[in-house]
Every structure is written in structure tokens, then in C-alpha cells.
């Protein structure tokens, strides 16, 4: 990997890009994943490559949902595995969740490579290899999940999920937390809790909130009940418009 000077103005973005390239080389990330990364980078640029206040609030609500869940599951795809393997393993530990490999372009080889990669980063158990259950109303390969994993989960975190599968999981009655940089993406729009942020920032941020909430007497139910997903999507769109000089056109001029 090329050395990127720490003072380079696009340091974090370039490091992230190199991790995805390495993921492709290791057989963890698909070529489609490279395209998804490009789309994500564009939105991150517009958001100022920072966690907005509303994304932080959504991350806290996500932590509360995961802590309250009967069976929380974190879904891991090739981009997440390449970008933040240690952080997703740490989040699973912080909230007592299962990790399940769940791929859009599923091959047994890539599922195994990702599971191995997560174990190298400290995961003790990784689901998604059995794939003995199906999400209803999705075509065969994309519907595959573990019966004692995502199929059974009441709360699922699906970072970078594709829109169809996100909608299908929601229809199964699961509380769905989506991390996606694009507030217009269907995945973000069908989520109970959309977090409009980069996974590399959002995943450790949810873990931080979870640990803080666990050590406090905060009412988790209150926190989840008062959440408005539409407001989060609107705040992200506003942040993008303001960053691109559209604030004059915004009637309320609200800053995120």
C-alpha cells in the first residue's frame, strides 16, 4: 500500500480507498464493491467527511436498539470487512451481537475469506456460512441467511445494504439500522434508523455510544421511541445542500 502523508488534506479518504483496493486483492471485496465505494466517497465529500450531529444522534439510537434487542445481528459485506473489520468485531462485543457475512454477489469462497478475515480481527464466531434460511420475496442467492442468525434477529445492522434486501428485511418485521452515506438511497429510506455517515466513522461511534449507555441510567426505550428517521434524512440532505452553497435556497436555513 502506498504511504499517504498524514498531513495530506485527503488523508482519511485515500486510506479508505486503499483498504478497499486491498480488499479486492485479498478476495474479500467484490469489483461491485469498488463502485459502491466511489459512490460513497462522493457523498462523504459533500457531507464534509465528518459525522454530522444528526448522524451522531442516530448512532446513539442505534446503540440503544442493539442493547435492547433479544437477538441483534450485524451483517457484514465485503466493503465493511475491508474497511473496518476490527471495529465491527468490537461493536459486536459491545452490544452482544452476532456477526453474519451477508453478500450481494455471494460465493462460498468470498464468504469464507470474509469469515476468516473477521476471525483474524478477533471474532470468535461468524455466521453466514450455513445459509440455511431464506428471506421471503427475494431471488435465490440474495435471499440466503442463517436460520439462527439474520433470519432469527429482531434488530439487524446492515451497513451498505442494497435497497431490495433492506426493504425485504423490514417487511419481515425486523428493526433495521442502515449505515449509508447517501440519504437518497432506498436502503437509507426504508431503515427504522438510518445513519448517514461513513461506516469507518459510524461503526466505532455506535460502539462508543453503546458503552456509554450501558454505564449510564439512560432510558433506552425513551431514546428509541422518540426517534424520527425522516428528520435524519432531511438533516443529511440539508447538510449536503449547505455544503454545496445551496443554503440560500433553503427556506428555514437550518444548519446540521
Q: Are 41 and 198 within 8 A, CB to CB?
A: no
Write out the residues near Mg ion by the rule CB under 5 A: 163, 185, 187
Please state, as a whole number, how many other Cβ atoms lie within 10 Å of the Cβ of residue 117. 21
Q: Name the minimum Å distance from CB 197 to ligand ATP.
A: 7
Report what 102 binds from Mg ion, ligand ATP, none; CB cut-off 5-8 Å by kind: none
Q: Are 256 and 236 within 8 A, CB to CB?
A: yes
Name the burial class of residue 55, with classes exposed (0-12), middle (13-18) and buried (19+) by CB atoms within 10 angstroms of its CB. buried
Q: Answer yes or no whether residue 185 interacts with ligand ATP by CB under 6 A.
A: yes
Q: 182: annotated binding-site residue?
A: yes
Residue closer to ligand ATP (CB basis): 179 or 206:
179
Q: Answer yes or no whether residue 43 interacts with ligand ATP by CB under 6 A.
A: yes
CA end-to-end span of the chain: 36
| Secondary structure E strands in the chain | 72-76, 98-101, 133-134, 144-145, 155-159, 175-179, 193-195
Q: Answer yes or no whether residue 178 interacts with ligand ATP by CB under 6 A.
A: no
The contact mask relative to ligand ATP for 77-96 (x = CB under 6 A, - = no) is --x---x-------------
Count CA atoms within 13 Å of residue 133 on its CB side: 16
Q: Answer yes or no whether residue 148 interacts with ligand ATP by CB under 6 A.
A: no
**How many residues bind to ligand ATP according to rule CB under 6 A?**
19
Report what 181 binds from ligand ATP, Mg ion, none; CB cut-off 5-8 Å by kind: ligand ATP
Give the three-class secondary structure for 223: helix
Instruction: Tell me the three cell numbers of residue 164.
Output: 431490495
DSSP state of 100: E
Report what 112 binds from Mg ion, ligand ATP, none; CB cut-off 5-8 Å by kind: none
For the annotated binding site for ATP, the residues are 17, 39, 180-182, 186-187, 198-199
By CB under 6 A, name the binding residues for ligand ATP: 36-37, 39-40, 43, 79, 83, 160, 162-163, 179-182, 185-187, 198-199
Amino acid at each position: 500500500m502506498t504511504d499517504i502523508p498524514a498531513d495530506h488534506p485527503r488523508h482519511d479518504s485515500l486510506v479508505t480507498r486503499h483498504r478497499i483496493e486491498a480488499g479486492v486483492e485479498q478476495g474479500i471485496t467484490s469489483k461491485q464493491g469498488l463502485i459502491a465505494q466511489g459512490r460513497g466517497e462522493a457523498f462523504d465529500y459533500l457531507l464534509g467527511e465528518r459525522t454530522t450531529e444528526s448522524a451522531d444522534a442516530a448512532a446513539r439510537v442505534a446503540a440503544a436498539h442493539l442493547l435492547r434487542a433479544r437477538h441483534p445481528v450485524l451483517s457484514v459485506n465485503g466493503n465493511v470487512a475491508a474497511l473496518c473489520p476490527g471495529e465491527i468485531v468490537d461493536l459486536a462485543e459491545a452490544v452482544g451481537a452476532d456477526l453474519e457475512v451477508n453478500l450481494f454477489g455471494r460465493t462460498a469462497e468470498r464468504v469464507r475469506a470474509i469469515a476468516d478475515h473477521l476471525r483474524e480481527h478477533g471474532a470468535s464466531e461468524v455466521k453466514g456460512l450455513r445459509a440455511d434460511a431464506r428471506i421471503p420475496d427475494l431471488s435465490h442467492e440474495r435471499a440466503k441467511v442463517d436460520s439462527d442468525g439474520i433470519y432469527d434477529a429482531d434488530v439487524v445492522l446492515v451497513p451498505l445494504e442494497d435497497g431490495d434486501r433492506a426493504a425485504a428485511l423490514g417487511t419481515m418485521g425486523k428493526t433495521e439500522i442502515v449505515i449509508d452515506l447517501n440519504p437518497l438511497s432506498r436502503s437509507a429510506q426504508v431503515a427504522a434508523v438510518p445513519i448517514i455517515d461513513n461506516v469507518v466513522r459510524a461503526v466505532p461511534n455506535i460502539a462508543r455510544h453503546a458503552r456509554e449507555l450501558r454505564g449510564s441510567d439512560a432510558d433506552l426505550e425513551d431514546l428509541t421511541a422518540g426517534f424520527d428517521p425522516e428528520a435524519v434524512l432531511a438533516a443529511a440532505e440539508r447538510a449536503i445542500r449547505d455544503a454545496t452553497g445551496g443554503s440560500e435556497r433553503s427556506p428555514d436555513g437550518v444548519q446540521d
